[in-house]
Chains A and B, each alone.
Chain A
Amino acid sequence: AQKVTQAQTEISVVEKEDVTLDCVYETRDTTYYLFWYKQPPSGELVFLIRRNSFDEQNEISGRYSWNFQKSTSSFNFTITASQVVDSAVYFCAPSDRGGSEKLVFGKGTKLTVNP
């Protein structure tokens, strides 16, 4: 079974600052997937990224980037030049075999970006 730790409960930054959200996971599976979701105040979960455990390349999507370190079981998420609209709760979630299997959500990190 998966387990995930998001040690940062809340983070507050000023607009345009870079911010990194940490995610450390535990799994006994050799193949697994890692997800990040954003939950704005409206409550709806927004999919951000899915990463296969075999793919350790870092990924960049606009202002978002992810650093996957299999050796340390971490999958950290960085927002560059943060904006007020980035304010939300961010969840990291590993999964057994992908989207068709249940996700185990971390406790989430609440990010507040102040103007």
Chain B
Amino acid sequence: GAVVSQHPSRVICKSGTSVKIECRSLDFQATTMFWYRQFPKQSLMLMATSNEGSKATYEQGVEKDKFLINHASLTLSTLTVTSAHPEDSSFYICSAGRTSGYEQYFGPGTRLTVT
């Protein structure tokens, strides 16, 4: 149990377009979902925390209008990178925490390349 999926796994888009990444908890309800970003050979940096039915809490330095997060249900959160630029190219990873639990379960990640 406790599987988290992400879609797509890889995406290439042109500069100026928007890209939506989905994060789903397949076999449990996730009250909280987290979005991380990882540049090559670097650590994971938390971008935002989203709770079902409420606005996401963004980390300092993360642009809310650029990285739109929606957590519409207990099993789905989406990250939309709006007006993407080459510097947004990165590995985006989501994770989900159970309603009552002590672990985060990570998705397999989405590699975004903006050309």
Contacts and interface: CB of A to CB of B under 8 A. Distances in A.
B103 interface: yes
Q: Which 3 A-B pairs have the closest CB atoms?
A: A99-B103, A98-B102, A100-B97
A42 B49 CA distance: 24
Interface stretch (B15-23, B64-72, B77-85, B104-112): B104-112
A47 B93 CA distance: 14
Contacts of A3: none
Contacts of A44: 106-109
Contacts of A102: 34, 46, 49
The A interface, classified by DSSP as helix, strand, loop or mixed, is loop
Interface of A: 33, 35, 37, 42-45, 47, 50, 91, 98-108
Given A102-B46, A105-B44, A43 B109 contact: yes
A45 B36 CA distance: 12
Interface in B88-114: 91, 93, 95, 97-98, 100-109, 111
A47 B108 CA distance: 12
A99 B42 contact: no
B106 A45 contact: yes
Interface of B: 31-32, 34, 36, 42-46, 49, 91, 93, 95, 97-98, 100-109, 111
Contacts of A50: 102-103
A108 B93 contact: no
Nearest to A95: B104
A100 B108 contact: no
A37 B107 CA distance: 13
Contact of A100 (B31, B45, B91, B106): B31
Nearest to A103: B104
Contacts of B105: 47
A100 B43 contact: no
Given A99-B101, A100-B31, A103-B104, A43 B111 contact: yes
A45 B43 CA distance: 12
B102 A99 contact: yes
A73 B109 CA distance: 31
A106 B44 CA distance: 8
